[in-house]
Chains A and B, each alone.
Chain A
Amino acid sequence: MSKAGYIVGETDTGGFAFVSDLDCYPPKHEYLIIEGVKEREGIGFKHVDVLAQVNRISNRSDVLGDALSMEELESIINRYTATTKVFGTAKVLGYIDRRGEVVMPRSAAIPGTEVKIAPTEMLERFFTKNIRRGVSVGHLITREEVNVALDPNGFRRHVAVIAQTGAGKSYLVGLMLENLLPLGATVIVLDPNSDYVMMRRKRDGGATAIADDMVVYRPPGLKGRRYSDQEVGGAEPYTIDFSKLNAGQVCDVAGISGRWAVIREAVGDALGQLQGIYGPQQLIDALERIALNPATDTRKAKAAMSATTYIRRLLNYKIWGSRDIPLDELVKPKRLSVIDLAGLQRNVSEYIVQKTLDDVWSLAVTGSLEYPVFIVLEEAHNFAPGSGAGQRSGSSLGIIERIAAEGRKFGIFLLVVTQRPNKISSNVLSQCNSQIIMRLTNPEDMSAVRRSSEGLSEDLFNDLPGLNKGEAIVVGELTKVPTMIKISGRTSGEGGSDIDLEEALRDALKASELAKKMKPEEDDDKEYKTRW
């Protein structure tokens, strides 16, 4: 264990300052140990090893002050290597008591005490609750050799994964799924960007260990997908049976605002006339019948006519059919179901989210859900927008809020993924007692995170903008104490990852050069050129 410095100045139970030097100073975020801190126990004392984390490192030269002129500085620098003093401050994280729990000490460290770099073995015990049965996600940011595994029990309280786009949310969630599935988990992913469809394939080709336990559902016949069914490794087609939609759902999907009560009423009336299996065209016909019926009063006739405009849009949707996603498949144990929502209209996606969750919820509350179900909700701010978000509250909001509030009683656990914590319903976010927060720089989103997260201390909060891609702060029930992790080890392929722009531009350049070459040779005649 190597020396990192000495504690100086005033200390308290929460932290201390230390002096170090350029040869042994610990980097920011490094973990330190103060050995043998005297801690009261009953009427006596015990000695405990306290773990702390560096939250600031600064250098100072007493000699090379800013009062010196350039000439004076040069006279010094030319003949002397000025010593730099290294100062640091560290935040106390706690010590492990006899039961293996992390406890904050009630004594402050004594100035003059040596601080050391914390040993690997201690860090492992400190951060991972259940080393053998944990969900492995990577290692400590400052200590690559210390692996961190999340406590599966931590998922009981719903998990929020929050970070700006590109920070690595989907990478992390995919990794968690890879490791949750072998534990027997049932997972349903609501995937608006095809982020998870490639998880059957390893990044370097070949099948992943979870390939056989995974099903991708996607609507057939959508053009311009990023990954074909073949690349994905096969997909189950799913459609929506239009005739199973009630009036409210039809209006939601068609984008008829809740404020237009008459129009919605007209849709209800028209649906009342239809029976058996039908599609949007039949609904349009029914609406027209109402509109043209001389017995209809003019207000309703107008409303029915307007409704046709909305419903007509639905004709272009390729989603209608009779192949529902089979609910009993979704809730099978050790099963990963990815519902690909990419390419669908927003209202349609919302409907699918709502319907899927409603279905699972109905199973759960009737006691028919045999195993716990994890639901991954990507772009959660779109499906569960907050009231201040300035958007029409989507049809899926209600069921999401309900599951957030009560789901865990019935074995439904949410994994909420969002880049706009400021725009997501606070009823949902505040129910996620475990949070994994990655790089975040937007001030509004940062303060939303701060409001919703009890475990996020001031200095962890301040670290958010400084995190690199793939680095995460885990607070809540997933680890014993807030932990800074470098996420790594994903084997499965990613779907929606960023395109390599540099490569794409190179291709574009090549194509443009090729095009130029194929142009007919230009005439060398000067006169000819000047004319142009």
Chain B
Amino acid sequence: MKEEIDLLGAELERRWYPLPGPKAVYEKEFSVDSSSAYRSLSNGLDFLIVRALMLGTGGYRRPMLRFEAVKGISEYSVASDFERALRELIEVRIVLENIGDVPEGSMVLIDGNLYGRYTHALRELGLEGWHHLPLELLDAMWMLYEECVERGITLVGVSKFSKTRALTSALLPGKAQRARFLDVELLYRRKTGETGYTEPLLLGEYGVDPRVKSLYGSPGKMRASLFGRVPERLHGFAEEVLERVPSFPAIAMFHVIPRENAQPMRVDIPASLIGLDRKISDVTPFQFIEARHVDGVVRQIAEAFGGRDVYNALLYVVDKEVRLSARAVDTVYKSVLGRELGVPIEYDRSTRRFTY
């Protein structure tokens, strides 16, 4: 253990950069986040409210709301997969819907990591009627990435609590095995009290199931194997989406410590948006890229750091604002929906759940 951390520490020094000057680069910033609330109704329906919010500098604000009622889901993991997929989807959709308002040269921040969204979406959802939902997400992400390239918009995922070992694994000499340390653990041990950022690492095949990789180029087989329960009428759509899977842009990932003793943040940027034409399928683990590619993004993120709780000003705000307070759900939505659906909404008390 001692040895590995020392090895990693030495390697980290070579991949560590001081923060560039404090000048922000992107004139306009937007941020996106979502929240959801789950209720089990006494008539056996599970009822999900998903809300997304897009904010921008200068008071820009666009909300989006989605309600879904599904037959009672008994498995917790299915419920949370469903919820997460819907949230990730609505976060992408809200940017797509409002992309006309985003000027060229803007930065759009999404709370969370972009690479994970992609890898998670490569298997069907275990919920009757919704097996295809991850495909919708992949489709929307594809469109979003394309739009961003077209319009000169930089889409950035920022996460505060990342459990990845991508950096530590990349730093390990030989690169054969998976590192025992989380990236944040290494940074905590070696970089506490410093500021700076790590050399960006390109993520391509790294987190993709080998089974998936073997199916690249055969969308029909891929559909049958990964999305076997998707109904026939959606096969065409499914294969169209899956055919694009290998061509998704690779993700440039790095960690940044914007202030002494601040928690490191993980930042994801599609390679296509920083001028690199690299696909998921043509990046083998592990490739670093030159730090200058992300210089502007680092400046911006360091600038937007507010403090321990406000690790990014705009993301902090959007996170706070999007939260559905339990009260809002239980009063406004409940009564509005009760009227809309024509049935009084009563919760099944035993299965109340909240997720934010």
Contact = CB atoms under 8 A, between A and B. Distances in A.
Interface of A: 6, 8-10, 19, 62-63, 65, 67-69, 71-76, 78-83, 110-112
B18 interface: no
A72 B307 contact: yes
Contact of A80 (B307, B314, B323, B331): B314
Interface in B32-83: 55, 57-59, 61
Interface string B338-350: 0100000000000
B268 interface: no
B306 A72 contact: yes
Nearest to A67: B309
Contacts, number: 69
Given A63-B321, A68-B309, A111-B335, A76 B316 contact: yes
Contacts of B320: 62-63, 65
A71 B306 contact: yes
B310 A68 contact: yes
Given A75-B304, A75-B305, A83-B61, A110 B310 contact: no
19 contacts: A6-B332, A63-B317, A65-B320, A69-B307, A71-B307, A72-B306, A72-B309, A75-B304, A75-B305, A75-B310, A76-B306, A76-B310, A79-B29, A79-B304, A80-B55, A80-B59, A80-B314, A110-B339, A112-B336
B313 interface: yes
Q: How large is the interface on B (under 10, 10 to 19, 20 to 34, 35 or more residues)?
A: 20 to 34
A62 B307 contact: no
A80 B313 contact: yes
Nearest to B28: A79
A481 B335 CA distance: 32
Q: Which 7 A-B pairs have the closest CB atoms?
A: A75-B306, A81-B59, A72-B307, A72-B310, A72-B306, A75-B313, A111-B335
B336 A79 contact: no
A505 B254 CA distance: 74
A19 B308 CA distance: 32
Contacts of A76: 306, 310, 313, 316-317
Given A6-B332, A71-B307, A72-B307, A78 B321 contact: no
Contacts of B305: 75
A112 B339 CA distance: 9
A528 B308 CA distance: 74
B331 A9 contact: yes
Contact of A112 (B55, B61, B313, B332): B332
A6 B331 CA distance: 12
B332 A8 contact: yes
A62 B323 CA distance: 10
Given A63-B316, A68-B310, A83-B59, 13 more contacts: A9-B331, A68-B309, A69-B307, A72-B307, A72-B308, A75-B313, A76-B306, A79-B57, A79-B314, A80-B55, A80-B57, A83-B61, A112-B332
Contacts of A81: 58-59
Interface string B309-335: 110011011001101000100011001
Contacts of B29: 79
Nearest to A81: B59
Given A112-B335, A112-B339, A82 B306 contact: no
Contacts of A62: 320-321, 323
A110 B307 CA distance: 43
Contacts of B307: 68-69, 71-72, 75
A281 B149 CA distance: 112
A75 B57 CA distance: 12
Contacts of B336: 112
Interface in B11-25: none
A20 to B, nearest CB: 13
A84 B206 CA distance: 44
A74 B316 CA distance: 13
Contacts of A67: 309
